[in-house]
Amino acid sequence: MGADWNGFEDSRVQGFEADGPRHAEGPAAPIGVFDSGIGGLTVVRALRRLLPRESIVYLGDTARLPYGTKSAETISRYAVEDAGFLVARGVKLVVVACHSASSVALDELARRLDVPVTGVIRPGARAVVAATRANRVGVIGTRATIGAAAYERAIRAERPNVEILARPCPLFVPLAEEGWTDDAVAEAVARRYLEGLRGEGIDALLLGCTHFPLLAPVIGRVLGPGVALVDSSEATAAEAARLLEERGLLSAGGQPRHRWYLTDLHPGFESVAALFLGEQPGEVLRASVAGSGE
């Protein structure tokens, strides 16, 4: 992308109060998705595949990433500000495509928002529990996600007696962003991380990071055909569809319009976004939420 943005929008939102929320206009309103960076684009890809008629507004808070190294209080504040930015654009649903924010901020967002909200952790947990027959599952994610044990808590909330083997796989993130997802380098890293799970009796593995679906082919080869790979992005899209259907908010048709916002220039965003989305994203606007552009 170089030094230029395709567009610029400077919209500071203090919680929900700076310019006031624009209330969603029923089924024609867009879905809002936010992440601390660009990994949440895999959730957008899943949403577009499952709900092709829906418009989407995406916010990547690249000026303040990563969220996982911040305190729970700070993450919650960032999540409220990000959601406020989306609500001000009239979204009918907020999808928190950030594992750190999903683990600590969903209750606060549900309290503040007048639109439904979902994250990536609870849908992923439900999906991996549904996939296991051996009652023994694996979970992989970043060090922050695994260290927080949010997926383990969510899985046990669904099925208390399930056995969980969790493994951090931090190098999968830069591999995905480099596009090295199905080559000898990716396979060597996957074997280093995952060989310990082979022979442990798991029959389902939760891909607990929005970057990880890009490495699904190599992960599947390492673990073998007896282990079902559960994509938290796909599970989140299915949950979003359920929430919209329940509330009569599914789009009735028309040409969807997608809008892309980042809070800081991300070098090479278009090329990385194309890997995550499967196509070029189109026009990208720069946006400031409270604190992100200062």
Which pLDDT tens digit goes with each residue over 235-271? 999 999 999 999 999 998 889 999 999 999 766 778 8
- Mean pLDDT for 115-125 is 97
The pLDDT of residue 291: 64
d(CA 290, CA 81): 6
User: Which is the catalytic residue, given 98, 205, 229, 273?
Assistant: 98
pLDDT at 14 over 70: no
The pLDDT of residue 18: 36
Out of 3.30.70.2190, 3.40.50.1860, 3.40.30.10, 2.30.31.70, select the CATH number for domain 122-233: 3.40.50.1860
- Mean pLDDT for 273-278 is 87
CATH class, domain 7-119+235-286, is: alpha beta
For the whole model, what pTM was predicted?
Answer: 0.87
**CB burial class (10 A; 0-12, 13-18, 19+) of residue 275?**
middle
Rounded to a whole number, what is the distance in angstroms from the first to the last CA of the chain? 22
State the Cα torsion 4-10-16-18 to the nearest 10°.
170
pLDDT at 13 over 70: no
- Mean pLDDT for 12-19 is 40
- Mark out the alpha helices in the chain (DSSP H runs): 41-50, 72-87, 99-104, 106-112, 121-131, 143-148, 150-158, 172-178, 184-194, 216-223, 232-246, 269-277
User: Which is the catalytic residue, given 209, 223, 230, 287?
Assistant: 209
The pLDDT of residue 56: 97
- Mean pLDDT for 106-114 is 95
Could you report the per-residue pLDDT of 182-222, keeping only the tens digit for each? 999 999 999 999 998 988 999 999 999 999 999 999 999 99
Q: Cis check for the bond before 116: say yes or no (omega within 30 of 0).
A: no
State the Cα torsion 53-54-55-59 to the nearest 10°.
-140
What does the block give as tokens for 193? 């991380």
pLDDT at 144 over 70: yes
Are 158 and 164 within 8 A, CB to CB?
Answer: no
The pLDDT of residue 292: 63
**CB burial class (10 A; 0-12, 13-18, 19+) of residue 56?**
buried
Helix (H/G/I), strand (E/B), else coil: 67: coil
pLDDT at 289 over 60: yes
d(CA 33, CA 154): 21
Q: Closest Cα to residue 90, out of 290, 264, 257?
A: 257
Residues above pLDDT 70, as percent of the chain: 89
Q: CA 83, 239, 67 angle in degrees (round to 5)?
A: 40
The pLDDT of residue 274: 86
Could you report the per-residue pLDDT of 21-35, keeping only the tens digit for each? 444 569 999 999 999
What does the block give as tokens for 181? 């997802």
All CATH 3.40.50.1860 domain ranges in the chain, comma separated: 7-119+235-286, 122-233
> Any idea which residue has 């024609």 for tokens?
28
The pLDDT of residue 293: 53
- Mean pLDDT for 97-121 is 94
- Mean pLDDT for 117-140 is 97
For the question of residue 169 being annotated catalytic, the response is no
The pLDDT of residue 284: 87
